[in-house]
Chains A and B, each alone.
Chain A
Amino acid sequence: MSTFVLLTITGLGLGAMYFLVASGLSLIYGLMGVLNFAHGAFITFGAYAAWWLSTKVSGSFEVQLLVGAAFGLLVGAALAALVELVFIRPLYRRPVEQVLVTVGLALSLGALVYGIWGADAKFFPVPDWMLDTTTILGANIPNDRFVEIAVAIVVLLGLVGLLRFTRVGLVIRAGVENRAMVTALGIDVRKAFTLVFALGGSLAALAGVLSGVYYGTIDPARGTSLLIFAFIVVVIGGFGSIGGSAVAAVAVGLVQQYANFYVADWLDWSGAGDVAVMLLLASVLLLRPEGLAPKVAH
């Protein structure tokens, strides 16, 4: 029982990170039709920016982490806005070229991280209380899991609030539904494009920072490995749906953790968890090719 509780909460913690990456990807795709491969670079750059500033700040780990995280989020948002303005905007209405450009950027930016910071993992500032454990139903759970889950819930509520109750959110929702109509009504959707990109970039950076807390280190391959699971979450959850992303992220995180423990033990093979996620994806596609939720931003 205690193992099951530990696996569940760890799975939710992982799912929280997948959700942060996937929600941005999903909104960007839903609104603009751009599959953003450069999203992994936003994760990595955000995490490294947070780490870099945290080594320059003196103070407790809490202060370092908060200051670093704030800076990382800014860097993620700025990088994403820059990518949208310089590379994506000139290629509107050419979706294949847009994907190709984000692929090129993903390769270039990924190589740049290796060039600047090297291939070795960097230790991330993690406050002591996050490394301590809390006992729930006999399971000793590291406290950082609760931080990740709490952050994801706050982001989920914030995104839903933004989409439901603000004018920008209305434009985004309408844009996901029918971009041509919104433009015809005289609303400049391009502003919403840049905003959604910057928002997605900062959420990706936040996921990068949280992954630093979760693993205790960051490395240049972090962005790519999170991105692939986030892609799976987006496909399972349905493009453009925040709620779908949240449900799918939880499902993927839990399946990965359970399979990693129970099936891996049984098969004596450590890849079982990740491969189980791919099987989940294949079965969802066979049963519901359009994903869990149809394309509506809510």
Chain B
Amino acid sequence: MRARTYVVPLAALALLAVVPLLSFDVPRLLPGPLDSPGTLQLLALCLVFAGVALSYDVLFGFTGLLSFGHALYFALGVYVPAIALTKWEWGLPQALLLLAAVALVVPLVLGAVSLRVGGIAFAMVTLAFAQAGNIVVQTNPRNLTGGDEGFSLNVDPLPDFLIGVVNTKYLYWLALGYAVLVFLVARAAIGSSAGHVWRAIRDNERRVEVLGLRPYPYKLISFVLACFLASWGGFMWLLLIGVTPEVTAATLTLTLLVMVVLGGAGTRFGAMVGGFAYTLLDYRLRSLAGEERIQDLPDVFRVPLSEPLFLLGALFVAVVFFVPGGLASLPARLRLLVWRRRAEEAS
């Protein structure tokens, strides 16, 4: 039984690892052959969001903390190294060290403040801090962030294999490495004794207090870990897409929430599958919106169908209503259905 649980993930990992070496088409789903740069970039983004969604799940699904500020920490990973490399002309190792320090200190300070309140107030406070980040980026202080436009990254300090369209396959492998690393770290953290306390806090915080543990430091650890992991996802975004102010918007956090709930909150693979599937679906719906058969429809159908976010929001509401537990709960639901059918036939 123990061995079997590893078979599917390892097979999926092996398959994902060889994708850049395959060159067949997946029509309707992907923009080109598997080894084309466009497809690899899209799949790399899917993997990055699989990792970031899991980092959010550590917070939301495993610790029960509903943060609306995860975009801020993702954006740190985009902006901090970009500013260090481009505006201050630092080398890559220094820039990454700076990111590691910032990605620890900022969530530690902001988390320490936000966690003074719980539940919905916590959600609003994290939202407010993330919004402050958004405003800082938009208003372009000292010409550091480039405001609405962002700026182009200085690629000179980067190693050659990370630059250029022909090398997208290395970025893809890097993204795969990021997703695997987040998975391993999250698994170890959730399995640790702190991880057990996280789940106890999620289920009943009062009981944890009665048992003589202070929930606050455990929640702070969960917050810092989740944010730290998300920041490295932001760095992957920087390599794949570049400096774009959208990463600071509250919509990104809401999107992460949708990914996690879609895949199944409180499950490791569910959140990753949710992040992967959402990113792919978002891309597909965007290209669908431009197609003629949608553009020719009457306005009542055309307008909603050309807005991917409308469809994804509606899908999310439907999942919350009809499939609580998300994609991860589907196998169990199907099994239950089959079992019931058999029981009926037998009687």
Contact = CB atoms under 8 A, between A and B. Distances in A.
Interface of A: 29, 33, 35, 37, 87, 90-91, 96-97, 99-101, 103-112, 114-116, 224, 228, 231-232, 234-235, 239, 267, 269-271, 274-275, 277-278, 281-282, 285-286, 289, 291
A270 B308 CA distance: 33
Contacts of A231: 124, 127-128
B304 interface: yes
B123 to A, nearest CB: 7
Contacts of B141: 267, 269, 271
B310 to A, nearest CB: 4
A111 B313 contact: yes
B319 to A, nearest CB: 9
Given A103-B254, A235-B121, A271 B138 contact: yes
Contacts of B121: 235, 239, 285, 289, 291
A99 B312 CA distance: 16
Interface SS of A by simple majority: helix
Given A103-B258, A108-B313, A35 B127 contact: no
Interface of B: 66, 113-114, 116-117, 120-121, 123-125, 127-129, 131-132, 135-136, 138-139, 141-142, 250-251, 254, 257-258, 261, 303-304, 306-310, 312-314, 316-317, 320-321, 324
Most chain B beta-carbon contacts within 10 A, residue among A29, A281, A285: A285
Contact of A232 (B66, B124, B257, B309): B124
Contact of B258 (A107, A275, A285): A107
Contacts of A90: 321
A275 B251 contact: no
Contacts of A271: 135-136, 138-139, 141
B123 A228 contact: no
Contacts of B117: 235, 285, 289
B127 A228 contact: yes
Most chain A beta-carbon contacts within 10 A, residue among B307, B308, B312, B324: B307
Contacts of A109: 313
Contact of A108 (B114, B132, B317): B317
18 contacts: A87-B317, A90-B321, A100-B257, A101-B317, A103-B258, A104-B314, A105-B313, A224-B250, A232-B128, A270-B139, A274-B131, A275-B136, A278-B129, A282-B113, A282-B125, A285-B121, A285-B125, A289-B116
A275 B128 CA distance: 9
Contacts of A106: 254, 313
B113 A285 contact: yes
A275 B127 CA distance: 13
Nearest to B249: A224
Contacts of A101: 317, 320-321
A228 B316 contact: no
A108 B125 CA distance: 24
A91 B322 CA distance: 11
A104 B316 contact: yes
Contacts of A35: 120, 123-124
Most chain A beta-carbon contacts within 10 A, residue among B116, B128, B139: B128
Nearest to A97: B320
A291 B250 CA distance: 23
B206 to A, nearest CB: 16
A35 B113 CA distance: 21
B125 A115 contact: no
Given A97-B320, A97-B324, A108-B310, A286 B113 contact: yes
B132 to A, nearest CB: 4
A189 B311 CA distance: 33
A275 B57 CA distance: 28
B141 to A, nearest CB: 4
Contacts of B128: 228, 231-232, 235, 277-278, 281
A219 to B, nearest CB: 14
Of all A-B residue pairs in the complex, the 10 with the closest CB atoms, nearest first, are: A108-B313, A271-B139, A107-B313, A111-B309, A111-B310, A104-B317, A104-B316, A278-B132, A111-B307, A115-B303
Contact of B309 (A97, A110, A116, A289): A110
A99 B304 contact: no
Contacts of A232: 124, 128
Contacts of A91: 320-321
A91 B317 CA distance: 12
A281 B314 contact: no
Given A107-B258, A108-B317, A99 B120 contact: yes
Given A107-B254, A224-B250, A285-B117, A114 B307 contact: yes
Contact of A115 (B136, B258, B306, B314): B306
Given A228-B127, A228-B128, A104 B307 contact: no
A110 B304 CA distance: 11
Given A104-B314, A235-B125, A270-B139, 9 more contacts: A96-B66, A101-B317, A101-B321, A107-B258, A111-B313, A112-B310, A271-B135, A278-B129, A286-B116
